[in-house]
Structure 1
């Protein structure tokens, strides 16, 4: 870009190659923001976008549920209190929370309720853009003296995907309020991340990754869109074998989560996505990327600074959940 004279005078372009995104989305950017004190005017994320330009995605959090029991010899299980049986009740309620509707007949109102203005009056339209929240049990643990004894504790991990209008507090309370959690006195908490980096540094953070959306009209979103339109037109392009998933609007959103949870979700730094590859290929067996995507993205990146007209007076943020220190009854925008 510099050699070709594609960086306008007064602009500085930073390229970051960061670690631990798969383990803890945005942790690297927490460090960049808090320790290196770097706050760019906007960020282009190069996560896969299927040839599209992405202006937001759902957030997520990692929840733990613990129940206690009383151990005894397996030959007389009635003398104990089996924690695994208690957790079995909770597992069914978690499944119902994800699968149920939100009609009066549903004792446990499903997460689809956030698409309904009755339950999410301020942000149901944003939720419909991003898609509904989800929850699934991802891990289960237990303790027992042996294979011939009653389990005295059981725990699960829940992967919770969050849409607009949901907060980290509301997601914890939803689990706490499940009938089986109340019945069995379950402890519900958010995980903390404290795994060391390759350098040995431990940079502890809660496992909460905020939801965010930019306005389609935001200057940085339009800079990427204008660059794409100038080079390739207003439709997604790609290899013939990639196009079955690309007949969608050019400007859209991710299904999965990215470092944008910190860049924009926590800190409000404008972020937009345009990257090679397909979301459906992420973590897939024999994952592939198309060479044409690499060329297309490199060309768009090179042109973006010349297309950027500045941030202007418009608030670029359409929805931002903010960090755990943000008042959570409204968007942090």
Structure 2
């Protein structure tokens, strides 16, 4: 099948994060089975979601992982010119939810399987399909934990997030946390009988603001990023039910994005410690999502390979995060490089071009030649 034909099938499957991915995983398994490729099904702890891992070539030799996520973001509230789950071709563009982020890459991975099989690979090419990337890279860690049972230690991992097929070397880490404050309700005419949860929440918000300002002044700094420091933001505040009721609940959702070398958890821990010190209220917190930063590679091997295969010079950093940080944390050299543009991701009328799919397949043809040499 051509990449465009595979992409049409993938776009028609709108499996969203946080829910079963049985349709998408089933399609990939069936596609690979028709080509005689065994596919390991790796269930996640949720019970209704799976990662998939397949190998073309020898398993006992170090090779390369091509990694992409199967989930896409929702389309609710977006005004599309056509059905987002039916691929539309117009003027060399292919429109559909996930076309760039990142079913275009998955389509190229699958369309290239016959070429990989014909290449007499001396080093394997592994196909890794993960779930729930769009809500904090929740799925891929369970697959990474199983890799030692599935293949020899890989030479590298190419995470195909849309980068205009430009190799990307690094990104920030992230942790999102929900903070809960519980007071005591009362009638607003007798506020002394209640404990207002919004007031201590305001103290935490000021602490978050001041800590963010301190990071901007004191660093650490990494000039590859803009801004060059770690950032801390309170994004959602919810509390109270009516103006004549003393609010007994308030919730804050905050996010840290940290430069390589600084764990987002070290920043979050300062906020959690301040939360725990609040008097007269009950407090709790829970992690919503997290992934580590992707630092620049220690050697040039994977960078040189991708620059040669794509014809593009590597980009030092991007502002978005990916699963590459998790592969790196597991000791696997990792790089971001995929077709399409991140500027089209998550937006209405998301698209990828036919030329971008062709260029990605050309890159993968080159990888196959490299693995066969």
Please confirm whether the aligned pair reaches a TM-score higher than 0.5, indicating the same fold. yes
- Shift of the alpha carbon at 1:273? 1.1
* Counterpart position of 1:31: 142
* Counterpart position of 2:5: none
Q: In 2, distance between residues paired with 1:174 and 1:110?
A: 12
Instruction: Sort the Cα spacing of 1:79 and 1:186 in 2 relative to 1 into closer, same or farther, 3 A.
Output: closer
Q: In 1, distance between residues paired with 2:195 and 2:320?
A: 39
Q: In 1, distance between residues paired with 2:345 and 2:210?
A: 28
1:21-47 Cα offsets, whole Å, 9 max, x none, are 10231x332222223534532111110
Q: In 2, distance between residues paired with 1:307 and 1:112?
A: 46
* Counterpart position of 1:137: 234
Q: In 1, distance between residues paired with 2:267 and 2:333?
A: 26
Q: In 2, distance between residues paired with 1:46 and 1:251?
A: 14
4+ runs deviating over 6 angstroms: none
Q: How does 1:65-84 map to 2 (within 5 A)?
A: 65-84=179-198
- Gapped runs of 5+ residues in structure 1? 101-108, 115-119, 193-206, 235-248, 311-333
Q: Is the 8 A contact 1:227 1:307 kept in 2?
A: no
Residue 165, structure 1, aligned to residue 264, structure 2: no
Q: In 2, distance between residues paired with 1:4 and 1:177?
A: 52
* Counterpart position of 2:82: none
Q: In 2, distance between residues paired with 1:216 and 1:307?
A: 21
1:97-151 Cα offsets, whole Å, 9 max, x none, are 33x2xxxxxxxx134532xxxxx4xxx4xx222442222223334466x664211
Instruction: Sort the Cα spacing of 1:59 and 1:308 in 2 relative to 1 into closer, same or farther, 3 A.
Output: farther
Higher relative CO (Cα under 8 Å, sequence separation at least 6) belongs to 1
Instruction: Sort the Cα spacing of 1:81 and 1:28 in 2 relative to 1 into closer, same or farther, 3 A.
Output: closer
Residue 211, structure 1, aligned to residue 293, structure 2: yes
Q: In 2, distance between residues paired with 1:186 and 1:276?
A: 48
- Gapped runs of 5+ residues in structure 2? 1-111
1:143-187 Cα offsets, whole Å, 9 max, x none, are 66x664211121212121111232244212331466x87455784
Instruction: Sort the Cα spacing of 1:149 and 1:183 in 2 relative to 1 into closer, same or farther, 3 A.
Output: same
* Counterpart position of 2:318: 254
Q: Is the 8 A contact 1:51 1:250 kept in 2?
A: no
Residue 18, structure 1, aligned to residue 130, structure 2: yes
Give the alignment's TM-score, normalised by structure 1.
0.66
